[in-house]
Chains A and B, each alone.
Chain A
Amino acid sequence: MRAQSRKKPGKTDPAETDSAHMDFEGAKAEITGIAHKSGALVWGVVAADAFEAAPEGRRPSDLLPRAESVLVVGGAQPRAGDWQSPNYQHMEVTTTSDRIHGLALRLARVVEDHYGYYAVCVPAGVDHGQQPFMSIAMAAELAGCGSKSLAGPVLHPEYGFMYFGAIVTTMPLPADGPLEIPACPAPECVEMYSSEGLTPCTRVCPIASGGCLSGRIEDGRIVERQYDVARCTTRVQNYWVPGFQKVLGETLRERDPEKQKMILYSSMFSRTLWSMTYANVSQGQCAECMRVCPLGRAHRTKQ
């Protein structure tokens, strides 16, 4: 039985929901069908109790008591042309991550109004400890939407880099599993590593020379990885809250009003304020490790 499959969102009385007779496979197909039609490239479900590796306080049931499942959707990548622009600032102000969050919000509404279960969209921002409420990346990996990469982001074997959204729900949807073969490292990267000890991402942003990344590959798999979070922040959030705090500190220390004016009206501070004004959720202001990633390259290659 496909419970209430013809009812539109907002029409369901939760009391009508009969979980004993609900066709959860059918419901999953219907929800993911909506996700697909709405622009998601990939989707998957992971059981809420599969997050053993997540720290206490950052598991699905910490966001929603009695959570049963986490539904993950992915897509909204930058366009192929975005990756080709010689102006790195272009992608700083054309972030598309909010689109996938909007889609996740829509699916949460479908789960609640159509099926009568609680659904919480995992916030894309951070909590007061500057950490994610729940790792959407971990959810995406456990749901088989991709695998974590040497560079960091979860990458899909065919599409490569994309944005993810996650919905925690009390609805017991059938779970998918992680990928059997991780997407990263790509065969080209394994070959490059075997002769040079580097991959495209660790070459463009090497931790040993002022960058963020390093790693070791053995038998085609990542076995070691280093990532400098704070340095990456200076690049990814270059003109955003961290940059604002740095410039503000310099301004407060400066006693000379003329010099203070130079700082406040500087290109960096002005650009930072513009960036904070544009942003509704978050902005990724560095994509150089992803720009050189071979995964998804076919989809980023046009005439």
Chain B
Amino acid sequence: MGFYFVDPKTYKKYKDRVLELSHAVQINFQEHLPAGNRQPALSDKQIAQRLGIEEHVVREIRCVAERDKYPIDEFEAAIHFKDKACRDYAAKGMSSVMSKYVKRAKKE
């Protein structure tokens, strides 16, 4: 008994295109954006049709590529990011990000 996975050559060949079409970075993805601006991602089935490969191959490439995009260092960096942002908010509240408006509200 085995399990299915994509061979690394196929992965390397298609991963950038799959990430781009599936919107790993969503650019104007949301439904409520003006129709002319909106760029919804393609589904795995649509990407498969576009690239001429099978849908389950696209799914595997996408799943691996999404995880592969950032190295483990980024997970370490996330810890420091959250710690700083959280402590800044605890110390300064909303003025940690919008001091000008908090000061103005206090004057009023």
A interface residues, Cβ below 8 angstroms from B? 53, 55-57, 83-88, 128-130, 138, 141, 147-148, 182, 188, 191-192, 195, 200, 203-205, 207, 210-211, 222-231, 233-235, 238, 242-243, 245-247, 249-250, 268, 285-286, 288, 291-292, 294, 297
Contacts and interface: CB of A to CB of B under 8 A. Distances in A.
Contact of A86 (B28, B30, B90, B100): B90
B37 A229 contact: no
Interface string B3-40: 00000000000000000000111111111111001001
Interface of B: 23-34, 37, 40, 43-46, 59, 62-63, 66-67, 69-72, 74-79, 81-83, 85-87, 89-91, 94, 96-98, 100-101
Given A228-B25, A291-B86, A148 B31 contact: yes
Contacts of A195: 100
Nearest to B71: A246
A82 to B, nearest CB: 11
Contacts of A246: 67, 71-72, 75
Contacts of B66: 130, 229-230, 233
A246 B75 CA distance: 9
Contacts of B27: 225-226
Nearest to A85: B90
Contact of A88 (B29, B31, B85, B94): B85
A32 B75 CA distance: 41
Q: Determine the main DSSP class of B at the interface with A.
A: helix
Given A268-B76, A292-B89, 12 more contacts: A86-B86, A86-B90, A129-B44, A200-B98, A204-B96, A222-B32, A226-B25, A226-B27, A227-B25, A231-B70, A246-B67, A291-B89
Contact of B37 (A203, A211, A224): A224
Contacts of B40: 53, 55
Contacts of B25: 207, 226-230
A210 B81 CA distance: 10
Nearest to B43: A55
Contacts, number: 144
27 contacts: A55-B46, A56-B45, A83-B89, A86-B86, A88-B82, A128-B59, A129-B59, A129-B62, A130-B63, A148-B30, A200-B98, A203-B97, A222-B32, A223-B37, A224-B37, A225-B33, A226-B27, A226-B28, A228-B24, A234-B74, A234-B75, A285-B82, A286-B78, A288-B82, A291-B89, A292-B94, A292-B97
Contacts of A286: 78, 82
Contact of B97 (A191, A200, A242): A200
Contacts of A129: 44, 59, 62-63
Given A86-B91, A192-B98, A229-B26, A223 B81 contact: no
A235 B78 contact: yes
Contact of B24 (A200, A224, A229, A294): A229
A192 B97 CA distance: 10
B74 to A, nearest CB: 4
B48 to A, nearest CB: 12
Contact of B83 (A88, A130, A249): A88
Contacts of A53: 31, 40
Contacts of B63: 129-130
A231 B74 contact: yes
A234 B26 contact: no
